[in-house]
Each structure stands twice: as C-alpha cells, then as structure tokens.
Amino acid sequence: MSLETEIRAFFDEYEARWNAKRFASLADLWDRDDPLPFYRPMEVDGYIASWKDLERYWEPRPGQSFIDELNFRYTNLRAKLVSADVAVVMSDFEWDLKLKGGEYAKPLSGRDPVMTVLRKTPEGWRMCAYVEACMHPAVYVKKLCDLTVRPSFVSALREAGKVKPPAAAAGTPADFWA
C-alpha cells in the first residue's frame, strides 16, 4: 500500500470517529507510547501537551457533549516520510459545527491548514503531534471576499485575459487574479 493510501485511510478513520462523536476513541489513533503529545486546536489559546489535558479537550465532561452536530473533513493531504516510521502531513481541515444552545448555537464552518506528525506503530499510523495553523485575519477575510465573486464574472474576466488561466492557478480563488 502506498504512503498516500495509508495516510488517507488513517484520516478517514479519524474523521469517522469525530463525525460519530466518539471523542474518547480518538485516543486510540494517537501514539500512546509517546509521553508528550502535542495538540494545537484553533479554538484553544495555547498548546495541549499532556494525555490528561488532551483527553479533557476531547471530552471536557465525559458522557456529555456541547456539540449538537459536526462534519469534519481532511482534504488536500500531502505526506512525506521524514524517517522510516515518521510522516509529516499537510492538509486542509474543513469543518462544519453546531453547538448546543446559547449565543453560539448557530452553525459555523471553516477551512484551516493543518500540520500533523504521524508515527508508524505495529497498530498502524498514529498521531504524535497536530497543529491547526489558522490563517492571518487579513488572509481569511480576503478568502471570504473571494467566495462572493460570481463564477460568471470570473468567466468574463478570464475571457478578457484579466485572470490567470485555470492551469496556472494554484486552486484557490485568490490565485486566479492576474
């Protein structure tokens, strides 16, 4: 099996556990022999660097969830081996979330770059470090603005030679502007 196939299979399982709200089972996809897990979610001010804190992050109140619905996806996976049993993976984390009650109960969505370090164990690939690398607010606002541009307008600009041809663009709306 290729590295890409193995990594995709790992993230498929990780997504499935999140989306099924099986938060405690996420620990099974981490290298439990690693005494110092590194985890940096976008919504936490600081780093999580202990099993106790990581488990508390996944389930702040065991048996109770403040999440009503969620849909997590890892896309644009790019992996490289840095040693025989360690891979570094870049990806985009696309998420939809609805919390229970309160002022934050409206659905939220986002897309954030992620860097993950996986270690190959006898059980398969396991996480040992994970960082959600949020975009700078100015970049994020620009991407939001790009999403409001109608495709028909982009087509008209392309016909006029005022945007890059699709093959020259990197894949995000901002990459199309000449």
> Can you give the pLDDT at residue 81?
97
pLDDT at 167 over 60: no
pTM above 0.85, yes or no: no
pLDDT at 175 over 60: no
Q: Are 31 and 127 within 8 A, CB to CB?
A: yes
pLDDT at 178 over 50: no
> Can you give the pLDDT at residue 166?
59
> Can you give the pLDDT at residue 176?
42
Q: Where in the chain are the domains?
A: 3-132, 137-176
CATH topology of domain 3-132: Nuclear Transport Factor 2; Chain: A, (3.10.450)
**pLDDT tens track for 103-133:** 667 888 888 999 999 999 999 999 999 999 8
Strand order in the sheet with 124-132: 38-40, 124-132, 108-121, 86-99, 67-83
> Can you give the pLDDT at residue 165?
64
